[in-house]
Amino acid sequence: MITSIEITLPRTDGTLERYEVGEASPWPEQAAPARSRIAFAAAHVVADPLAANDPWLEAAVDWDATLAYRRHLWDLGLSLAEAMDTAQRSMGLDWPASQELIRRSLAEARAIGVADRIACGAGTDHLPPGTYTLDHIVAAYMEQCEFVERHGGRIILMASRALAASARRPEDYVHVYARVLSQVKEPVIIHWLGDMFDPQLGGYWGTTDLDRASITCMEVIGANASRIDGIKVSLLDMRREIELRRRLPAGVRMYTGDDFNYPELIFGDDRGCSNALLGIFDAIAPAAAAALGALDDGDSLRYRQIFEPTVALSRQIFAAPTRFYKTGVVFLAYLNGYHSHFRMVGGQESARSIVHLGKVFRLADKARLLRDPELAVRRMRQVLALAGING
């Protein structure tokens, strides 16, 4: 006889409720790579909870646990987007720690035979805050690109805070990207990260008008198409992504970064579809792998049934202020036993309220993403106890 499990969770009105937890996740822990779409999961890092450091000032990473989580994603057939926003770049993880992460992950990928299923973020985040000449920004980009290439990695060209602060007109973006792209060895994925993910990227492409910004972005892609594998668009705006997707040159892919609308964008329409490069795929990896498998099999109903309940979870994890979504991603990995603690580099475990985390717990359960409900409840109770909630 199966006994139901209950837990006391906070409501938004400040009261508490008893919540009955559902069944364990049915999704397998291994799957083949998708055939019909390219699917990257942008992965989080696991902090070292025993490091004698100041978390707000110094990154201390548990490398064994971090690499184990990457093996989990690879086992599910997903590709890995390494050292990206989900790994807390510029929000706890500095460039020296990012270099070590990139080096270790690329070595691990080669060791287990998945070197074709990893790409690494390269940007300018080693520059201190301030304004710079365009030459200086190009040199900063190339320093990181050359590091990734030297270690055998593919490049995801990240948006640059330094460029956003220094550019005076759209042509400055065209100039910088043309120079950087002319020097890379293999086609890269460009990343347009909206200011909801990073407020310091406001006005990217030289304007806050997204219609005009799209024109500049497409100018960059059109002029450098042979050096661009695709573009990851993280604007949480499905209509705009579809419009951009339909305007891409032949051979340039769209990678959705829309953590609100990914099922529709990946499924696509009669004029095309998006591939995936998503932070939420870190948190929902088993369900994502199962949904993509259903899509490969032509079972669109099953695809939608698997993904549908994950959308509410994703919208909660990525709720405004969206830049704090990493807390929910790491929290769910902790609940599911992928690492032993709920600590984050930068002290970001404190970035979300206990009410927010309670909602994440409920929605993860409803999406059938708790692989061991008893373990998840025990761990949730430990987090609740820190907020003075017992039961």
Q: Transcribe 155-179 into DSSP letters.
A: EEE---HHHHHH--SHHHHHHHHHH
For strands 5-10 and 16-21, give the pairing. antiparallel
334 with 299: CB under 8 angstroms? no
Task: Determine the Cα angle at 221 with ends 254 and 273, to 5°.
Answer: 15
pTM surpassing 0.85? yes
pLDDT at 4: 82
Predicted local confidence at residue 2, as pLDDT: 52
Residue pair 25/264 in contact by the 8 Å Cβ criterion: no
Q: How many residues does the chain have?
A: 391
Using alpha carbons only, what angle is made at residue 256 by residues 326 and 270, rounded to the nearest 5 degrees? 150
Q: Provide the 8-state DSSP code for 19.
A: E
The pLDDT tens digits of the residues spanning 264-320 come to: 999 999 999 999 999 999 999 999 999 999 999 999 999 999 999 999 999 999 999
List CB contacts of 45: < 8 A, sequence separation 6 or more.
61, 66, 87, 88, 93, 101, 345
Instruction: Please state the rounded mean pLDDT for residues 92-111.
Output: 97
Q: Which domains does the chain have, with CATH numbers?
A: 5-386 (3.20.20.70)
Residue 17 has pLDDT above 50, yes or no: yes
- Region 321-337: mean pLDDT is 98
> What is the rounded distance in angstroms from the CA atom of residue 160 to the CA atom of residue 142?
12
List, in sequence order, the alpha helices (H) in the chain. Answer: 63-75, 95-111, 134-150, 161-166, 170-181, 210-223, 238-247, 262-267, 280-283, 285-296, 300-317, 325-335, 354-366, 373-386
- The predicted-structure confidence for 156-213, as pLDDT tens digits, reads as follows 999 999 999 999 999 999 999 999 999 999 999 999 999 999 999 999 999 999 999 9
Backbone torsions φ then ψ of 108, nearest 5 degrees? -65, -40
pLDDT in tens, 221-248: 999 999 999 999 999 999 999 999 999 9
User: Are 302 and 294 contacting, i.e. CB atoms less than 8 angstroms apart?
Assistant: yes
CA–CA gap between residue 322 and residue 282 (Å, rounded): 16
Separation between Cα atoms, residue 380 and residue 385, nearest integer Å: 9
Q: pLDDT tens digit string along 138-156?
A: 999 999 999 999 999 999 9
Residue 137 CA to residue 176 CA, distance in Å, equals 8
Nearest Cα residue to 332 out of 47, 44, 11, 14: 44
Q: Which residues lie below 8 Å from residue 223, measured CB to CB, with a gap of 6+? A: 174, 178
| Arithmetic mean of pLDDT, 45-71 | 96
Share of the chain above pLDDT 90, in %: 97
Does residue 1 carry a pLDDT above 80?
no
In the chain, how many H helices and how many E strands?
14, 10
Q: What is the pLDDT of residues 353-388, one digit of tens each?
A: 999 999 999 999 999 999 999 999 999 999 999 999
Contacts of 37 (CB under 8 A, 6+ apart): 266, 273, 275, 276, 292, 295
Closest Cα to residue 303, out of 24, 29, 34? Answer: 34
Average pLDDT, the chain: 97
How many Cβ atoms from other residues are within 10 Å of residue 157's Cβ? 24
- CA dist 193 and 123 (Å) reads 12
